[in-house]
Homo-oligomer: A and B are copies of this chain.
Amino acid sequence: MSSSSTPPSADVTAAILVIGDEILSGRTKDKNIGTIADMLTEIGVDLREVRIVPDVKAEIVAAVNALRARYTYLFTSGGIGPTHDDITADSVAEAFGVGIDVDPRARAMLLERHRPEDLNAARLRMARIPDGAELIANPVSKAPGFYIGNVYVMAGVPQIMAAMLDEIRPTLTSNAPVISETIEAGAIPEGNFAGELGEIAAAHATVSIGSYPSMTPEGFRNRIVVRGRDADAVAAARTAVEALLAGLRA
């Protein structure tokens, strides 16, 4: 697989940090990276890096600080439940050097789901929010996420993460959305067009041109995807790619 680098016009960037031993053990297959990536592409934010780290505070703090400093937005998923080392909130507070305690707004949200007598110490962990953070509503199970600075902290359960993402999506700044056009190369082998495709990519530097082989029961099939923010530039690159493929089919 290959593609040329992200269109140069991009300036609003993002990273994702997935937190959880269950992903690293393979026991749980991550679904959140793809969900967040799709949303960011739809609104024209360039996802530049993803990391997955274990439930280890020092690892989470180091990753949060590395990624929040480098990208416009950092989105995290996982580690905000009630159990002994749902430690994301405490780790984010440490990364920002702020305090953390039970937040009355978050506690009130938990009371929409739990009776006061059920709000034990474990459940109250889900109301621990770093000082200065704003809450992200959780329409599924109430326990909120939060954002502080440019870091958005969401749940790991995919249905809850997606609901939190819907909450914050309208608040995000974005680039011009990316236009993506797919050209079917069918069974033409990548190696037959790779050289000329590279020349086309070099001649159309403001767009991203990717070649994506996939294996089917009938053998390899290839797609070429042209992505960019300038409609004319995308159209011009598409025309060049189609001419290349037409020549190979002739």
Contact = CB atoms under 8 A, between A and B. Distances in A.
B194 A125 contact: yes
Given A47-B24, A51-B51, A55-B4, A83 B30 contact: no
Counting every copy of the chain, the complex holds 2
Nearest to A123: B191
Contacts of A92: none
Interface stretch (A95-103, A210-218, A232-240): A210-218
Given A79-B1, A85-B3, A40 B22 contact: no
B38 A48 contact: no
A49 B58 CA distance: 13
A33 interface: yes
Contact of A84 (B2, B6, B50, B214): B2
A141 interface: yes
Given A25-B41, A26-B37, A208-B21, A6 B54 contact: yes
Interface residues of A, number: 83
B120 A82 contact: no
Interface of A: 1-6, 18, 20-30, 33-34, 37-41, 46-56, 59, 78-79, 81-87, 114, 118, 120-123, 125-126, 140-141, 156-157, 159-160, 178, 180, 190-195, 197-198, 201-202, 208-215, 220, 225, 227
Query: Ordered nearest first, which 3 A-B pairs have the shortest CB separation?
Result: A84-B198, A26-B37, A122-B194
28 contacts: A1-B28, A2-B83, A2-B85, A2-B86, A3-B21, A5-B54, A6-B54, A21-B210, A24-B37, A25-B47, A25-B180, A25-B227, A26-B34, A26-B47, A27-B210, A27-B212, A28-B212, A30-B33, A50-B51, A82-B194, A84-B198, A84-B202, A114-B191, A118-B191, A120-B195, A122-B193, A126-B191, A141-B220
